[in-house]
Each structure stands twice: as C-alpha cells, then as structure tokens.
Structure 1
Amino acid sequence: MSSHTNIRFQLKTAERHFRYACQQVMIISRQVVKKTRRCHGVVRTGDTIFRYNIRLRLSILDGVRNMYYEFAARKAAEIVELQQRVLGVISHSYIILDETSVSGSESDCFELCD
C-alpha cells in the first residue's frame, strides 16, 4: 500500500469517526434539554429525591457529551493534518513531474480544508 493510499484511508476513517462523534453530541444534547425540562418540572412539584436522580443523570449526560466533544475536536485536528499531508503528497508528486505547475502556498491548503 502506498503512502498516499494509506493517508487517504486514515483520512476517511478520521472523517467517519468525526461524523459519528458529532451525531452523538447532537443526540446527547437533545437528551440534556429533555432532562433539564424534566428537572424544572420536578422543582415546581418539590420532589427533592426525584430531582436529585434527574440532576445526577443530567451531570452524567453532560460529562459524556463533553468527552464526545473533545473526541470530535481531536478528530477535526487530525483531519486537517491529514488533509495537509494528502495535499503535500499530491503537491510533492506534481513537483516531481513539473515544478512550475504547483504553487504550494499554505493559504491554498487552508481553503481546501474548509
């Protein structure tokens, strides 16, 4: 397997993990909103034991969501790095073929990553 193919495979895997983590963050965020509404309803009724259980679940959901968010942020950074490496491999191969055909500026890399 060539270096270029290996980098592309890593990039696709990182993108898949990033998308999954983002989906999980959205799902957990909806659950947090529901639990928060439920907690506010329990506050009005004055059931302190049930309120404690909901707040405990809410803090666990918040912690899990934060972990997925951090994972997604790391994957996003990895994706940017891999995209730059792919562009570097492609740019390097074009430079070998024709040194005048590729500018190799860093701003072009950032435009393609967005």
Structure 2
Amino acid sequence: MMDVGFRTQKPYKAAVNQRGIQMEREPNIVSSSASQRTIVDGVPFKVDIYKLEGGDGWTLEVVSADGTSTVWDDLFDDDQTALAVALKTIRTEGAVAFANGGSNVIPFKHSVK
C-alpha cells in the first residue's frame, strides 16, 4: 500500500434533525503523516499539520510542553512546507517564544467584583 502522506480520522455520522431529515455533515479532518513530536534544546514540542477534507491548504499548529497551542494564520500548500516552517521557527525563535503563548498573547482583563 502506498503512503500518500496523510491519514484521515474516522468519519462521523451526520446528524439527523427532529423531523428525521439528515443534515449536512461537517468535513473530516485530515491529519498529515508529517505531524510529529520533536525536542529542541531539551524542550518537547508537538507539531500538528492538518486540513479539512477537500480543503485547499494545510494548517500548522505547534503545541508546547505546557500545552500552549500556536496556530499559524496562513495555510500551507503542502504538509512538508508546513513542517519545515515549524521546525525552523522552533529552532530560530527558541522554546521561550512558545512557552505560555510567547510574547504575542494578549491576556483578558479580569473584572473586579
């Protein structure tokens, strides 16, 4: 069997409304086989690359050891480019750029009661 570079998750059954009419199902998420775990400077990262079934581009997400998720705004034409960008960014920016959301997280103000 040829490895095509991605795997699909199990499809789910479309919802049925109260009248028994089948509603349009949401697309499946396709996970790239390029998704991986990596360790840079002793810090573990999870690199997730995925797209919607039939979608045009790949989404890149890097999850740090503390669970902080960083998702790129732009889509990638292919999963290998997304992986290369993730690894290059982790190595050049360093682990601190991803810890607790890095420097680009804007905290919500807490209301005082």
> What TM-score, normalized to structure 2?
0.23
- Higher helix fraction: Structure 1 or Structure 2? 1
Q: Which has the higher contact order (CA 8 A, sep 6+)?
A: 1
Flag the structure with larger Rg: 1
